[in-house]
Amino acid sequence: MLNIGYFKADPTTFVVQYHKGKIKRQGVGLSFFYFAPATSLVAIPMASQDVPFMLKETTADFQEVTIQGQLVFRIADAVKLAGMMNFALANNAKDYTGKDPEKLPNRILNLVQVLMRAEIQQLPLRNALTASRTLMNNVREQLKTSEVLISLGIEVVDLAIQAIRPAPETSRALEAAVREALLKEADEATYARRNAAIEQERAIKENELRTELAVETKKRELRENQVEADRAVKEKERLIHKEDMEAQVALEAKRQELVDLATANERKQGEAKAYGLEKMMDALNKIDPKLFEAIAASGTDPELVIAQAFKSLAANSGKIGQLNITPDLLGSLLQRS
């Protein structure tokens, strides 16, 4: 009845009290009594506000995409905003007299949409679908330096893009293309795996062949070494046999020399003996045979003497005219014998 009211603001609400057109008090979380007929109250919430959005834009290749995200902002300069927009309270000190507090988020979202459109129209569809981080950073930086928000005293706390989706038909087409690409990659992977298996099998076969070749090479080297060893052994045996033959030849030569020397010695000995006999015979030939006969007869048996006499008679038979030998003489000779 006395038109005296009491106002108590929240700790996050900036209050400006105008009394007769002049600012009487202003601040955050104020509480006071006021005279209603002469007082105007302005209440500006300072807490951060979350504004979700879903925008439909067109890419550089004329494909429609839907951008879903969220904007977080706060009123940094309440006095500046109070001078630009109507945040006055009604007589009940609860409701606003105008629609500006409801229009503020839409005004900020309109600015976000303008900046998003400018960015998304520079990208083709495939790039736009994966450019959420780049798009978010670019738009956030532009919002921080926006003259409109600065003039309103608005500060952008955060901007998040949750998803960028194409139209359902485009999505199915992309899914089909991606599916075909994945199938192609799967086929290529299968082919690559088979090719790798074939390559590995070929490598294994080559290793086996190289191993067999190495084994055969080693066997051939062993055979060659064995042949060389046998050849060396045969060569040594030949050299040993040759040395034996040479030794035998040398021995036979020595033996031949010995035989020749022995033969020469025997010949010389024979010649010496023959010469001695010859000299002896010469000496004997010069002696009268009768002397030998006398010498022999002096110590000889009568039978030998008689035999010698008959021999002399036989030797001189040509000189004997007639010789008579009596039977008595022959009988006595035979009886003696």
Domain ranges of the chain: 1-46, 48-166, 287-316
Q: What DSSP character marks residue 20?
A: T
Q: Say what the pLDDT of residue 146 is.
A: 92
What pLDDT is stored for residue 294 in this prediction?
Answer: 60
Which residues 6+ apart lie within 8 Å of 27 measured at CB? 14, 15
Distance CA 83, CA 315 (A): 203
CA atoms of 134 and 128, how far apart (whole Å): 10
- As to burial, measured by CB atoms within 10 angstroms (0-12 exposed, 13-18 middle, 19+ buried), residue 49 is middle
What does the pLDDT look like over 49-92, one tens digit per residue? 999 999 999 999 999 999 999 999 999 999 899 888 999 998 88
Give the DSSP H/E element, type plus range, for residue 43: strand 39-45
- d(CA 270, CA 30) in angstroms, rounded, equals 173
Structure confidence at residue 55 (pLDDT): 92
Contact 116, 57 (CB under 8 A): yes
The amino acid at 319: K
Query: Cα separation of 88 and 29, whole Å?
Result: 16
pLDDT of residue 334: 64
**Positions in the chain whose pLDDT score sits under 70:** 1-2, 276-277, 279-310, 312-337
Does domain 48-166 sit in CATH 3.50.30.50?
no
Report the pLDDT value the prediction gives residue 92, as an integer from 0 to 100.
85
pLDDT single digits (tens) 117-167: 999 999 999 899 999 999 999 999 999 999 999 999 999 999 999 999 998
Spatial distance between the Cα atoms of 82 and 49, rounded to a whole number of angstroms:
17
pTM of the model: 0.52
Q: Indicate left, alpha or beta for 68 from its phi (over 0: left) and psi (-120 to 50: alpha).
A: beta
Report residue 304 as tokens: 């030998």
Question: What pLDDT does residue 143 have?
Answer: 92
